[in-house]
Every structure is written in C-alpha cells, then in structure tokens.
Structure 1
Amino acid sequence: MSQPREIAPGATYLVTRRVLRRHLLFRPDAAINQLMLYVLAVSARRYGVEVHAFCMMSTHLHLVVTDVHGVLPRFLQFFHRIVALGTKVLRKWEGPVWDHEATSVVRLLTQAAVVEKIAYVLVNPVAAGLVRHASEWPGARVDVGEIGRGVLHAARPSVYLDPKNPQWIEEAMLPLALPPGIDQGNADGFRHQVAAEVERQEALAHAEAERQGLGFLGADRASEIPPYERVTSFEVLRKCNPTFAVGREQGDARRTAAAAVRAFRASYRVALERSRAGVRSALFPAGTWWMRTFHGASVNDVVLST
C-alpha cells in the first residue's frame, strides 16, 4: 500500500510519468506534439490547473503545475487517459501506453525548488544526450521566456477526439502562468533565475558527456527514430520517489517539510484505523483526498503542512 499523500489547494508540483518499457512512443513529431499540447490545454482548463513548464521526452513526460483547487488526481487521471488513448490511435499501438509504476508527484515547497525543477524539466533533453541546448529539442516544451507571459495554441487533433463532442473545442489555448508568489513585478527576475539555472544544469550535462566521451544525438536524428523502438541503455529507476523538494542548501526547509509529512501520515493512519474500526466520525487531516472523495470521510480544516 502506498503512503497517503496530502493534496492541498494551491500546491505546486513536478509531475513525471513514463512510457511502458521505455518505448519511444512520444518521439517528437508534429502530430504527437499537437496531441500533447492540445490535451494538456483542455485538461488544465477543465480542472483549473495552472501550467508553468513542461517537456515531452520520447519516453516520458514532465510537468510543473499548480493545483489551484486541490484536484490534482482528477486532472492527472483525465490528462493521462486522453493522452494514452490518442497516442494508441496515432501510433497504431496495442496495449498500455504508460508504465505500470505510479506517477511521480513531487511537491515544490520553496521558490528555489520551483526554479530548480523547472530548469530540470527544460534541460532534460540535454541531460539525456539528445541535444546540446534545451532550446533545440523538437518535442512539445516551454521556453524560459514564455513563463508567465506566453500562450500556446493547439488545434484539435484529427485522431480519436470527436469534433461533435463540445468538450473538444476546435482550438485550445494554454497560458503559461507564473508560479504562486511571483507577480508581474518580479517576473523578469524569476525568469532570469530559471535561465541561470538552465545554463548551470546544461554546463553540468556537457561536462558529464565529455567525461564519458559521449556526443549529442541531435534534434534531426532524435525525430527520425521509429517510435516503436525502445531505449536499451541501463537506467536505475525509482531509486527513491520523493514526496517534496525544497532546493539546494535549504536544510531548515527540508527538516520542516519532513516533519510535516510525518505528522500528516501519522494523523492519517490514526483516522484510518478508527474508520476501519467502524468509527464514522473519524477525522482525517487536511489534504486527505481519496477517503474524502470516495468514502465521504470527515476532514479537518486545520492544515498540518506548509
């Protein structure tokens, strides 16, 4: 059984989900880029989720989003389902699209964490040895300069989505929001921070490639690989699956966050044991989502975590 997770309105997350057995089903091309962007735009609007950054790799997808209304599980269920069904039609693929492992959801608790994880998302193609600079990646992605002022557009894909269904509008728009706590007055400063972190992480990726004597595949070659191929290089997956991130050199914030997670889980377990014992008045901690949504459990209004 997985650990209980607090779902808090207004929380910002790094979300990662992988393709089954590292198949290259998201190999970048115009059709898959259009599908991904359109479905993300429709899903974000449907659930009121703010999108800050994303990058579609050939084998996985990264998002940095803020869950304004505390409905992240609903958003991810809808988004991942439609992406998978559209991909199956587009790629003429039978069987699952997503890996059987649970989606990685990491709550970003500080501005430092948001800056670092947005940069991590954007630099992913460089770290993977695909392109030398993040801006060269041909997959669906965000540029640093678009955060907080860009609006992406995608026409409805011609595959899977029924044009007669009103939820599949002809063109979807995806505004790229600033993270919470960043207003337009300091938006340029925030983008400069992200750009500097992108440069730092790119330099680390270049140094690692040089150390290993490796080059970069290049955007053209990455786009030509058949989507039914698999990545065969060794990769250690899910050595750890963190719940939160606070950024580098944030020791105090890390300790505070870890204590809050432990308190939430302890309170949740006590309430769950009482509920299983037949105590209908068992009070779950604020941020409890599954038990409230599917079992009508009572939830405390007092937030334990920050």
Structure 2
Amino acid sequence: MSQPRAIVAGATYLLTRRALRRHFLFRPDAAITQLIVYALAVSARRYGIRVHALCAMSTHLHVVVTDVEGVLPRFLQFFHRLVALGTKAIRAWEGPVWGHEATSVVRLVTRAAVAEKIAYTLANPVGAGLVRHAREWPGAKVLVGELGRGVLRAKRPGVYFDPSNPAWPEDAAISLALPPAVAEDDADAFRLEVGAELERQEAEAHASMHRKGHRFLGADRVRKISPAQRATSSEPSRGFNPTFAVGRGHADARRIVAAAVRAFRTAYREALEQWRAGLRDALFPAETWWMRVFHGASVSDPVIVL
C-alpha cells in the first residue's frame, strides 16, 4: 500500500513521470513537443495550475508547478491522459505509454528547494549526457530567462483532439508564473539564483562525463533515435521516493517538515482504521484528498500558523 499523501492548496511541486520501460516515446521532434506543450497548457488552465518550469526528456517528463486550488491529482490524471493518447496516435504505439510506477510528486517547501529543483529540471538533458548545455536541448523546455515571464504556446495537434470540441482550442497558451516563494520585485534575483545553480549542475555533469571518458550525444543524434528503442544506461534505484525537498543547508526545515509528514500519516491511518470499522464520522487530517473527494469523509480544519 502506498503512503497517504497530503494535497496542499498553494504548494509547489516537482512532478516526474516516466515512459514505459524507458522507451524514447517522447523523443524531441516537432509533433511531440507540440503535443506536450498543448496538453500542459490546456490542463493547467482547466485546473488553475501555475506552471514554473518544464523539460520533456525522451523517456520522461519534468514539470514544476504550483497547485493553487489543491486539485493536483485531477490535473495529473488529465494531463497524463492527454499526453498518453496523443503519443499513441503520433507514434502509432500499441499498449501503455506510461511506466507502472506512480508519478513522483515532490513538494518544494523552501525557496532554495524551488530554485534547486527548477535548475535540476532544466539541467536534466546535460546530466543525462545528451547536450552540453541546457539551452541546447531540442525538446519542450523552459529557459532561465523565461522563468516568471515567458509563455508556453502551441497549436492544437492534428491527432486525437477533435477540432469541433470546444475543450480543445485551436491555440493554447499558459504564462510561466513565478513561484509563490518569489516576489515580483525579486524575480531577477531569483533567475540569477536558478542560473547559478544550473551552471553548477552543468559543471558537475561535464566533470562526470570527463571522468568516464564519455562524449555528449548532441541534439542532432537525439532527434534520430527511434521512439521504440529503450534507454540502456544504468539508472539509480528508485526504491526511495521522496515526498518533499527543502534545499541544501536547511536541516531545521527538513526536521520540521518530516515531523509534519509523519503526523499526517499517523492521523490518516488512525482515521482509516476507524472508517474501515464502520465509523463514518472518522475525522481525517486536513489536506486529505482521496477519502474526502471519493468517499465524502470528513476532514479536520487546517492548522493556521501565525
């Protein structure tokens, strides 16, 4: 059984989901880039999601968002369904598109964590040995200079989306928002912060490639890989699936958030045991989502910290 997860209105997250068996289904060509940007723009507008950063790798997607209304599961279900169905049509792909593991959802608690994970998102193609610099990645992405002021825009794909359905506009766009942790008058400083972290991560990737005696694949070769192929490079075990990040040097925040996560899970399990015993007045902790939405369970009021 998976751990219960609090869905927090206004929280910022790093979201990651992988293609089935690491197939290159999202190889960065024009059709897939158009699909991913269109699906993200339509889905984010539908559920009030604020998009901060994006990098569509050949085998997985990274998106950094803020869930303003506390509807993240709805957004993920809708967005991933559009991407899957569009990919099946573009690639003439039979069977599932997404891997069997659940979407990685990491709550970014501090400004430092937001900056680090946005930089990580942008640096992904470099860390994977594909291009020397993040800006060279040919797929759907956000550049540092676009943070908080760029726009993701795409025309309706020619597959799957019915032109006569008003749910699928001819053009879809979503403005890139600043994370809640960043004030408008601090936007330039935040972009510099992310840029510096991106440079640090790129330098680490360059040093790693040099030690291994490897060369970067390059954008042209990336585009030529068959979507039916699978990544064969070694990949760290994903046995540990973090639920939050606080950034380097924030040990106190880590302890506080970890204690809150443990308290939520304990309260949730206690309420679930009562529910299973037939007590329909069991009170689940604030920010419970599944039991509240699908079973009408009662939840406690959120704790307001002054």
* TM-score interval (norm. to shorter): over 0.9
Structure 2 matches for 1:68-147, cutoff 5 A?
Answer: 68-147=68-147
For 1:123, the aligned partner's letter is A
Q: Rate the CA distance shift 1:305–1:200 in 2: closer, same or farther, 3 A.
A: farther
Q: Tell me, in whole angstroms, the C-alpha distance in 2 between the residues paired with 1:305 and 1:92.
A: 52
1:264, 1:305 within 8 Å by CA — same for their partners in 2? Answer: no
AA partner of residue 122 (structure 2): L
User: Which AA in structure 2 matches 1:45?
Assistant: R
Deviation at residue 167 of structure 1 after TM alignment: 0.3
Shift of 1:136: 0.1
CA distance in 1, matches of 2:305, 2:196: 30
Aligned length: 306
1:166 alignment partner in structure 2: 166
Give the Cα separation in 2 of the matches to 1:237 and 1:26. Answer: 22
TM-score (norm 2): 0.98
SS in 2 for 1:107: strand
- 1:264 equivalent in structure 2: 264
Other structure's SS at 2:173 match = strand
Contact 1:261–1:305, Cα closer than 8 Å, also in 2: no
> How many angstroms does 1:304 deviate by?
8.6
Answer yes or no: is the 8 Å Cα contact 1:286–1:304 preserved in 2.
Answer: no
1:220 alignment partner in structure 2: 220
* Cα contact 2:110–2:181 (8 A) shared by 1: no
For residue 61 of structure 1, what is the aligned residue in structure 2? 61
Following superposition, the deviation at residue 276 of structure 1 comes to 1.0
For normalisation by structure 1, the TM-score amounts to 0.98
Measure, in 2, the Cα distance between the counterparts of 1:210 and 1:168: 46
After superposition, the C-alpha distances for 1:25-49 in whole angstroms (9 at most, x for unaligned) are 0000111000000000000000000
Q: Distance in 1 between matches of 2:305 and 2:12?
A: 14
Give distance in 2, aligned partners of 1:130 and 1:303: 45
Matched residue type, 1:289:
W
Deviation at 1:183, TM superposition (A): 2.0
Gaps of 5+ in 2: none
Identity of paired residues, percent? 70
The answer to whether the Cα contact below 8 Å between 1:151 and 1:175 also exists between their aligned partners in 2 is yes
Give the partner amino acid of 1:186. D
**Letter aligned with residue 177 of structure 1:** A
What is the SS of the residue equivalent to 2:179? coil
Counterpart of 1:112, as a letter, is A
Alpha-carbon deviation of 1:103?
0.6
Distance 1:250 1:9 in 2: 23
Is 1:46–2:46 an aligned residue pair? yes
Shift of 1:227: 1.0
Whole-Å separation in 2 of the counterparts to 1:254 and 1:219: 38
